[in-house]
Amino acid sequence: MASAKLTPLGIAVLELLHEKPMHPYEMAQLMRERFVDTRVNVKAGSLYHTVERLQRNGFIEVVDTQRDGRRPERTVYGMTQAGLDEFNQRGRELLGDVTKEYPAYLSGLAVIDELGREASLLELDHRVTRLRAGVAADQAVLDHLAADGTPEIYWLDWRYQCDHRKFELEWTERLIDDLESGRIPFQDCEQPQLTLITREDDDERQTS
């Protein structure tokens, strides 16, 4: 049995197999319908690789094969007791543990003064535009989920992500306002004069 923890995609596969045994093509369809790709990187190749890995680890097993006309035979997988145990354990960790994450946006915020006023405000405006579009799209999905009667407990992950995007939009809009008004002033530090190291400089260091 492999000691590696379940990946997010592995969790998503076992989440589906909680409902019933299914083949990878059906898993991929359901993941698209349920917007699983908003929290997990879902690609056809990685999905099949994950299914194979879960089978090697004894977390799932072949329970049936299906053939639809002339299409290739499809293998149907079901979750084993070992898979259920691992799923429950990993699920508890994901829900209860607080882990250190490193969002790329934080690194961008750290270099605002070095980029300068014009470039920073331009990129922040671009970010706000994209976030507004994302928030609008999120709301459309939330309205659809509410209208079709999907129990809210099945889309808590989506609701969290939508709220997080709203927060980031509001926070970034306030940041732009603070930068434009001067409440958070740029330091206007002079950029250091960089010089290229020539071959002559390198040779001189090596002989000194």
**CA nearest neighbour of 60 among 48, 44, 42:** 48
Q: What is the pLDDT of residue 67?
A: 67
Enumerate residues 6+ apart whose C-beta is below 8 A from 134: 165
For the cut 60, the answer to whether the pLDDT of residue 1 exceeds it is no
- What phi and psi values does residue 62 have, to the nearest 5 degrees? -75, 130
End-to-end CA distance of the chain: 58
Write the pLDDT tens digit of every residue in 94-134: 999 998 889 999 999 999 999 999 999 999 999 999 999 99
pLDDT band, very low/low/confident/very high, at 81 (cuts 50, 70, 90): very high
Q: What is the pLDDT of residue 150?
A: 82
Mean pLDDT of 151-176: 94
Range name among 42-46, 137-141, 187-191 with the lowest pLDDT average: 187-191
**CA nearest neighbour of 32 among 52, 54, 47:** 47
Is 192 in a helix, a strand, or coil? coil
- What phi and psi values does residue 63 have, to the nearest 5 degrees? -115, -15
CA distance 88 to 58: 15
State the pTM of this model.
0.76
Q: Pick the residue with more confidence: 170 or 67?
A: 170
